[in-house]
Chain A
């Protein structure tokens, strides 16, 4: 589905990624772990075409998407859920969803408003409210729903569990399970190892802009020194 090889990225003079390589298979949920500032978000933004200075290969369904503008990448079926939520505060919930709406694709499940409101009942109650009036957790739900309105095949989820209440984290885990059931492929960036283990099939760890672990959660659990070294547990 997605193949990233030897990706380098920089902001101005600061080199952030040094040869990141990772892959995501069809209908797989894969976590990218790493500490604050390790380069998880930069990896996702690079895939999404939101970092301009980058080299390497990014292949999506056999086609290179490196250097493509982000709207083209989105239209190819990649959904992106940013870490700081970035909902449109002055737009209502429905309007936020409208911005994300794209035509149905043959090769991906279709998400209707009804289906999304079923999945996120809180949003349904607040559909006429402005984005800025929602709670943090509701905003997090809204960003995901907004991305799903684009009927993506693959979703990049940047730190979905960050800064939200434990009950909502649980709800978030269900949502990700639902995405997998629907046949989507999901790349999640996480700092929370427990949450990542709960929802994903395998993991990468990024440290200082390079991948330093690639394997299963089982292997991570048997070798706690890895998590101790690379993750803030």
Chain B
């Protein structure tokens, strides 16, 4: 009995930190509608700063708590700077741009933290005065855990008072419902957004700072917390602080008990809970359907068929590509395979987002399932390369069929979050199920067949599969099915009114996009000779998003530009020190200077140079 109670208390202590970071994320989302990936970075930087200040001050109880607050306050100021210099410029951009921009901030923070604090994990001091354990029902409970258990509800009460007893809080709550209307009532949104961002960053910093007596401060803190924080926000309902509290407690306590029964579950449990909650309550426990009046957004530009000239340019590029192995070195062919894989992956993601209107944060799931299916068929079932290549995409399709059925029941950010949950569940299973998938060690020795083993021959295999896949997706995009999907994207109600089964079409669109991502994964697996759980990871999903957004979501050629640029930049940048910093910087520059992506930027450039011609690439 005592043991279970102790487990409950551990769960509650974990819930406090999770609540702090998630409430900040929720407030920021509620007011600004920004899905802030950099929130995990705020958490991490809060921990590092607290470590530095605590060790520098070394000032007993008072010094400890002062350091915690100071660290959180500095993070609040950092949040303010980021809001004013970056986010303020992109509030009107599509939400994906904002997501990618905040991911650029994540990369910059990772390297900045590495440069300042080094790669070693740092072990903080225990909290003075709370460094022992008390016995409760015979079990030792750290005093600091008890303090954390008290801090969570105290912060919740503080936020409640702020939101209900101050004019600022009332404005924040109003803006969470309808920020455009708040503006029309004379409230300067820029100021409100900055303040919300500062508060959110402060809370994340506080959450991180409070962790130092409990866990080592490390460079992995940012991305390890962000997935869970998203889940908590989504379960609680985006924008709801009390929802975040309930969800944090739910997840942490469930986790504390579930690991007793099934220790591996902790990686996937939050995502499973989230999937279940979203299916039962599409807007989370305390969430409301988002206001329709988040701003007068323009409807998406329709996709244009390519002009004859740009078709010619593209054909010429394909021809050059086709003959490239004859004139280039092997390593160029290998790089070009990477480019083609990335392009097919990006085009399939673009199909889902640009044509289907479904934003996915977890497209890597289908890429990874394709790759793993092929690898396992070859390794465990003794399949040849070609049969494995042909069959594996069907596994990706099956995964998309399964997860897509749930996802298309939601829309917008919730749909995106559920796609991420799906990907994380698959990732967790792959990672944990050592016996079946090889776990962290991956599956090695997935080489092409004997006759295809030269880099040049494999280049042509990749060429046929990837270009074939891209061609297929473009055909589908311009088929009646593709037009119906776009109709649903532009107006679900209108499509429903004329009798279209919108869910079914979206579901099928999801499956098409997933299968082709799977095909990209298959080509990838054989080109690398191995597969690892990263192929299903968040980073892979985000790479896809960056490619699509670099290219520009409105143009069919966008993902092609984006993927090529991405692979080239990555290939060059990753050779440098602090490449994350540079890469994050490049992302921010593109997002701030060319909010319509490279394709849009090229279009504008062409129009600027040749004013009497219509833009080229579309």
Contacts and interface: CB of A to CB of B under 8 A. Distances in A.
A227 B249 CA distance: 62
Given A86-B293, A91-B173, A12 B189 contact: no
A13 B300 CA distance: 9
A12 B299 contact: yes
B178 interface: yes
A149 B180 CA distance: 18
Q: Number of contact residues on B: which range applies?
A: 20 to 34
Interface in A147-192: 147, 150
B299 A50 contact: no
Contacts of B187: 71, 99
Interface string B183-220: 11111110000000000000000000000000000000
Contact of B181 (A53, A82, A150): A82
B298 A53 contact: yes
A12 B301 contact: yes
A201 interface: no
A91 B174 contact: yes
Interface in B257-306: 288, 293, 296, 298-302
A20 interface: no
A86 B178 contact: yes
Interface in A1-36: 11-14
Interface string B431-447: 00000000000000000
B296 A52 contact: yes
B174 A88 contact: yes
A74 B171 contact: no
Given A12-B301, A51-B296, A99 B184 contact: no
A121 interface: no
Give the most central of B170, B288, B302: most A CB within 10 Å: B170
Contact of A90 (B173, B183, B301): B173
Contacts of A50: 180, 183-184, 296
Nearest to B293: A86
Interface in B142-183: 167, 170-171, 173-174, 177-178, 180-183
Contact of A11 (B174, B184, B288, B296): B296
Contact of B170 (A45, A74, A86, A98): A98
Given A86-B293, A90-B173, A99-B170, A146 B178 contact: no
B184 A80 contact: yes
A37 interface: no
A14 to B, nearest CB: 8
A201 B208 CA distance: 63
Given A50-B296, A98-B170, A88 B185 contact: no
B372 to A, nearest CB: 42
A88 B299 contact: no
Given A11-B298, A90-B177, A71 B183 contact: yes
A146 B185 contact: yes
22 contacts: A11-B298, A13-B299, A45-B296, A49-B184, A52-B296, A69-B183, A69-B189, A71-B184, A71-B187, A74-B184, A74-B186, A86-B178, A88-B177, A90-B177, A91-B173, A91-B177, A96-B174, A98-B167, A99-B170, A99-B185, A100-B186, A150-B186
Interface of B: 167, 170-171, 173-174, 177-178, 180-189, 288, 293, 296, 298-302
Given A12-B299, A50-B296, A80-B184, 13 more contacts: A48-B184, A50-B183, A69-B188, A70-B180, A71-B187, A74-B186, A82-B181, A88-B181, A90-B173, A91-B173, A96-B174, A99-B185, A147-B185
